[in-house]
């Protein structure tokens, strides 16, 4: 995530705080809490997950996307009950990061050193939650920040990250990978209150970030674009991340083995502005977001929709629309599920004064 922009910058580095918070130990099968500072406007969040593990036997087999699957929820909430970011499966956070960064090395789909016996070792996985209109290749941004969590000026008295981890044994298909500990270190990117940059943000207008996740169960084979799922309403959707998994909860090794095509249908207007083959669309994303160094198989059955490219005007405006006015359609190829993460913006409803 890059917060400085060329020429006429709203935000300058001297007005930013990018200090890592203290590392927090995570507890399996529990809701873990990390408090965020209330000293300005948070533009995004960088994080590092450290896994310390042993290999108890030769040939331990890691689960596909094991660490992502280990996270069963990740939320950012304030003390008034407002949710700014929410995922119900860590793989959504994993692939959101990979599209943002344009490479898979920040969070590989498998643990790097799980074969053979040996003592304890650390492995590191990084993630990014960018509240701006990204992901873009390489995490670069060519526009000024437009969204953030306004804390002090919005009278927020509590802002927490809540992470729930599942069973550590889930990291290995045969259960012989022993996890000793998991820690998380967060670095919020903050425009400090009382600075010229904060005044510039408020004068320019600051949006509230929205991330909403949903799981669509029991996708099955059927007719062409015969599956329809409603899109969330009440905000402007910028991007939608889609992960298709098979009956074993795996992305699988064959692209398109869960869905073979998908589309966006405007039911209110009676139009289908976007329709594509699943695999060919993903190949276009490969060249746009990843390029050299990331193979097509590294992110099998994962896709990203850029709504501005389909609708213009910053994305798909769901403010004032009924639930079924806009739908995603899929052609099912086999039994499985879909994980979806919709990223966008809404209004704070009033003008802040720095």
Check whether residue 103 and residue 185 sit in a common domain. yes
Tokens coding 180 = 């000793």
162 and 69 part of one domain? yes
Does residue 60 share a domain with residue 177?
yes
Those residues of the chain that have pLDDT short of 50 are 1-7, 142-143
How many domains in the chain? 2
Residue 336 and residue 263 share a domain: yes
Can you give the pLDDT at residue 216? 94
Check whether residue 282 and residue 194 sit in a common domain: no
Q: Residue 41 maps to which CATH number?
A: 2.70.9.30
Quote the pLDDT of residue 3.
44
351 assigned to some structural domain: no
SS (H, E, C) 184-199: EEEEEEEEECCCHHHH
- Residues 173, 31, single domain; the answer is yes
| pLDDT of the residue at 295 | 83
Which residues, including other chains, have CB under 8 Å from residue 189's CB and lie 6 or more apart? 1, 3, 16, 17, 18, 42, 43, 44, 45, 46
- Grouping H, G, I as helix, E, B as strand and the rest as coil, residue 351 is coil
Whether the CB-CB separation of 93 and 68 falls below 8 Å is answered with yes
Shared domain for 108 and 136, answered yes or no, is yes
Q: What is the pLDDT at residue 245?
A: 94
Domain of residue 69 covers 1-206
- Tell me which H or E stretch contains 98: helix 90-101
- At 1 the pLDDT is 44
Please report whether residue 354 resides in a domain: no
Instruction: Using the CB atoms, write b or e for 242-281: b if 16+ within 10 Å.
Output: bbbbbeeebbbeebbbbbbbbbbbbeeeeeeebeeebbeb
Same domain, 8 and 108: yes
pLDDT, tens digit (0-9, with 9 covering 90-100), for 137-147: 555 554 467 89
236 within 8 A of 318, measured Cβ to Cβ: yes
Q: Which of 206, 226, 255 is the last residue of a domain?
A: 206
Q: Given the DSSP bridges, would you call strands 177-192 and 24-25 parallel, antiparallel or unpaired? A: antiparallel
Position 8 scores a pLDDT of 56
The domain spanning residue 261 has which CATH number? 2.60.120.20
């Amino acid at each position: 995530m890059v917060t400085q922009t060329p020429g006429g910058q709203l935000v300058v580095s001297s007005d930013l705080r990018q200090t890592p918070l203290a590392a927090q130990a995570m507890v399996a099968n529990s809701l873990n809490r990390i408090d965020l500072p209330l000293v300005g406007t948070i533009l995004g969040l960088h994080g590092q997950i450290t896994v310390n593990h042993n290999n108890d036997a030769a040939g331990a087999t890691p689960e596909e996307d094991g660490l992502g699957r280990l996270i069963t929820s990740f939320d950012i909430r304030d003390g008034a009950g407002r949710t700014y970011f929410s995922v119900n499966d860590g793989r959504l956070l994993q692939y959101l990061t990979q599209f943002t960064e344009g490479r898979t090395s920040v969070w590989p789909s498998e643990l790097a050193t799980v074969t053979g016996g040996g003592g304890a070792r650390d492995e590191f996985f990084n993630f990014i939650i960018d509240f701006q209109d990204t992901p873009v290749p390489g995490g670069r941004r060519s526009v000024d920040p437009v969204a953030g969590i306004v804390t002090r000026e919005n009278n927020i008295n509590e802002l927490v990250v809540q992470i729930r981890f599942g069973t550590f044994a889930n990291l290995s298909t045969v259960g012989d990978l022993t996890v000793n500990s998991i820690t998380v270190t967060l670095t919020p990117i903050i425009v400090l209150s009382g600075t010229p940059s904060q005044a510039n943000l408020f004068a320019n207008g600051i949006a509230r970030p929205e991330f909403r996740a949903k799981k669509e169960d029991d996708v099955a084979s059927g007719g062409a674009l015969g599956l329809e799922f409603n899109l969330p309403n009440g905000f402007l959707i910028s991007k939608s991340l889609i992960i298709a998994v098979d009956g074993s909860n795996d992305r699988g090794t064959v692209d398109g083995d869960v869905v073979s095509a998908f589309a966006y249908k405007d039911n209110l207007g009676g139009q289908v502005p976007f329709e594509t083959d699943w695999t060919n669309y993903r190949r276009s994303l490969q060249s746009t977001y990843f390029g050299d160094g990331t193979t097509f198989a590294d992110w099998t059955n994962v896709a990203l929709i850029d709504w501005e490219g389909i609708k213009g005007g910053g994305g798909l405006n769901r403010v004032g629309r009924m639930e079924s006015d806009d739908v995603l359609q899929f052609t099912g190829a086999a039994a499985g599920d879909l994980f979806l993460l919709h990223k966008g913006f809404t209004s704070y409803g009033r003008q802040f004064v720095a």
